[in-house]
Copies of this chain bind each other. A is one copy, B any other.
Amino acid sequence: MSRILFYLDGYSHDVWREAFRAVDPSVEFRGFPDWGSPDDGPAYAFVWEAEPGLLKRFPNIKAIFSLGAGVDHLMRDPDLPKDVPIIRMGDDGLKEGMAEYVLMSVLMHHRQMPLLATAQSKARWQRVFSRPARHVRVGILGYGALGKCAAEALKPLGYNIAAWSRSPKPAEDGVQHFTGEDALNDFLARTDILVGLLPSTKETEGLLNFDRLSRLPEGASVINAGRGTLIVLEDLIALLNSGYLKGATLDVFPEEPLPADSPLWHQEGLLITPHCAAITRPDTAAEYVVRNIGRIEAGEVPENILDLGRGY
Contacts and interface: CB of A to CB of B under 8 A. Distances in A.
Q: Report copies per complex.
A: 2
Contacts of A93: 132
A8 interface: no
A159 to B, nearest CB: 10
B260 A124 contact: yes
Given A116-B273, A128-B276, A107 B111 contact: no
A210 interface: no
B104 A107 contact: yes
A123 interface: yes
A175 interface: no
Contacts of A279: 129-130
Contacts of A120: 265, 271-272
Contact of A96 (B153, B158, B261, B281): B158
A103 B110 CA distance: 13
A108 interface: yes
A266 B279 CA distance: 31
A104 B113 CA distance: 10
A274 B132 contact: no
Contact of A265 (B123, B156, B261): B123
Interface string A234-255: 0000000000000000000000
Contacts of A113: 104, 273
10 contacts: A100-B107, A100-B111, A103-B107, A116-B272, A123-B261, A123-B265, A125-B256, A125-B257, A125-B260, A156-B156
